[in-house]
Amino acid sequence: MSAMGVVICLAIAASAGLGVYLRMRQTATVDAHRDQVPADFAHEVTLDEHRRAAEYTIAKTEFSVAETIFDAAISIAWLALGLAPLYAAIAAFVEPGLVRSVLFVLVFGVIGSLIDMPFAAARAFWLEEKFGFNRLTPQKFFVDHAKSGALELAISTPLLFGMFWLLGAAPDTWWLIAYVVFIAIAIAMTVLYPTVIAPLFNKFSPLEDGAMKRRMEALLARCGFESKGLFVMDASTRSTHGNAYFSGFGKAKRIVFFDTLLEKHSPDEIESILAHELGHFKFGHVRQMLALAAAIAFVGFAVLWWAFGSDVFAGWFGLPNDPGVVLVALLLAREPISHVLSPVLAWRSRRAEFEADAFARDIVGKEPMISALTRLTRDNLATLTPDPLYATFYFSHPPVPVRVAHLRAAA
């Protein structure tokens, strides 16, 4: 491994160190405030509920510390020790060419999934189970993983063959062609996900006729939102966490409520949650996020073009200049850059949430939105006292106390 390879490995370690530091700050801040409910929530959240949320947050954060350290160690181990032997083992049985390159990436992905599975199992059957959220059975856990793995193989295999073939067929422009195809597939997936992919994992039923459905449809009409319908997802088969979202693109949009959300919230609160989601549509947040993702993907493909066209990057780690090896090495080495960019991306996401909150406030009033946020916080054991620096890096939504303060301060 060259000096540059060592620098990248040290950057991965430093990124993990920053992540551990931020998580320790989060743990310390939540623990320091566990015995006092914030004044704005003193009448809605009991001290026992606040302490329980602190315990859950601390347990999640400590679990995340272990996961962060483990992931960094595995990435460094792959780059320094694992990729070269894995490639040699595959090369001993497969001739040079497209099949070898694609097979290397797929084998790496399968091994990585197996390595990650114990953490996923511990999160579901220890952490979430301990706090009463988990409803997964071991059988459903493994079936879900098998479905996810099969779906990833079905999608990634032809894409990898196509990209590596383009690399040889159009060495100067392959990355631009691949980028355009990638964006087209990403847009297609937003259309196909609600009706093709999501039903592989959950059951979606139309919202039953009645006062609730009429109220939601009236809200959609007021906001000029056309969709393929209102649906209820059987989220309770996996977790007691509640949520709602809209998915799809163009005329394929659909509104989805978790059944756990409908069970626990009042009609006013559900209407405010739907209004918030419609705010994302009204402000074009989905299009904006797609545009941002497209810009990031463009940079990523440009880096791939450089790495595939030269043996410099592979040489940093003493690896063969095979496209499959280079792709995997780049994926492993990107973590420090992703971590540095995370505050900017999280800020953009939080800004969108404020805009959606303001839209919901203007449509249905601030009190139902405040009530819904408070109930979601209480039911999901979300902390009301996060560390601000930790939130800057990792919160895609503003902390609930900040959102409630914005709603109450609005004229």
**Which string of DSSP letters, residue by residue, matches 343-354?**
HHHHHHHHHHHH
What is the spatial distance between Cα 289 and Cα 22, in angstroms, rounded to a whole number?
Answer: 26
What is the spatial distance between Cα 267 and Cα 148, in angstroms, rounded to a whole number?
Answer: 35
pLDDT at 275 over 80: yes
pLDDT, one tens digit per residue, over 164-202 is 999 988 988 999 999 999 999 988 888 788 888 888 888
Q: Is residue 394 part of a domain?
A: yes
pLDDT, one tens digit per residue, over 126-156 is 999 999 999 989 999 999 999 999 999 999 9
Let me know whether 7 and 131 are in one domain: yes
Let me know whether 259 and 313 are in one domain: no
Let me know whether 275 and 322 are in one domain: no
Q: Catalogue the active-site residues.
A: 277, 357
Let me know whether 73 and 126 are in one domain: yes
pLDDT of residue 248: 67
Q: What percent of the chain shows pLDDT beyond 70?
A: 99
Let me know whether 233 and 328 are in one domain: no
pLDDT, one tens digit per residue, over 13-49 is 999 999 999 999 999 999 999 999 998 898 889 999 9
Let me know whether 272 and 322 are in one domain: no
pLDDT at 249 over 80: no
pLDDT at 228 over 80: no
Model confidence, pTM: 0.89
Q: Is residue 186 part of a domain?
A: no
Let me know whether 261 and 338 are in one domain: no
Q: Where is the domain boundary, 249, 282, 315?
A: 282
Give the residue among 324, 330, 326, 327 at the shortest CA–CA distance from 97: 324
Yes or no: say if 160 and 152 are a contact pair by the CB < 8 Å rule.
no
User: In angstroms, how far is CA 142 from the centroid of its own chain?
Assistant: 20
The full DSSP string for 144-161 is HHHHHHHHHHHHHHHHHH
pLDDT at 290 over 70: yes
pLDDT, one tens digit per residue, over 91-118 is 999 999 999 999 999 999 999 999 999 9
The reply to whether 276 sits in an annotated binding site is: yes
Let me know whether 324 and 385 are in one domain: yes
Let me know whether 32 and 76 are in one domain: yes
Three-state DSSP class for 203? coil
Let me know whether 131 and 7 are in one domain: yes
Q: Is residue 88 part of a domain?
A: yes
User: In angstroms, how far is CA 407 from the centroid of its own chain?
Assistant: 26
Q: What percent of the chain shows pLDDT beyond 90?
A: 66
The reply to whether 208 sits in an annotated binding site is: no
- Domain with 400 in it: 3-135+307-409
pLDDT of residue 84: 94
Let me know whether 266 and 334 are in one domain: no
pLDDT at 1 over 90: no
User: What is the total residue count of the chain?
Assistant: 411
Give the residue among 335, 352, 381, 348 at the shortest CA–CA distance from 130: 381
Q: Is residue 376 part of a domain?
A: yes
> Can you give the CATH number for the domain in which 209 is found?
3.30.2010.10
Q: Is residue 193 part of a domain?
A: no
The reply to whether 55 sits in an annotated binding site is: no
Let me know whether 370 and 255 are in one domain: no
Of the candidate ranges 51-55, 187-191, 288-292, the one whose mean pLDDT is the lowest: 187-191
What is the spatial distance between Cα 398 and Cα 378, in angstroms, rounded to a whole number?
Answer: 16
Q: Is residue 123 part of a domain?
A: yes
What is the spatial distance between Cα 230 and Cα 247, in angstroms, rounded to a whole number?
Answer: 11
pLDDT of residue 251: 64
**For the chain, what is the domain count?**
2
Pairing between strand 244-247 and 204-206?
A: unpaired
Give the residue among 73, 79, 58 at the shortest CA–CA distance from 16: 73
Q: Is residue 156 part of a domain?
A: no
Question: What does the mean pLDDT of the chain come to?
Answer: 91
Q: Which run of H or E residues covers position 130? A: helix 129-130
Q: Is residue 153 part of a domain?
A: no
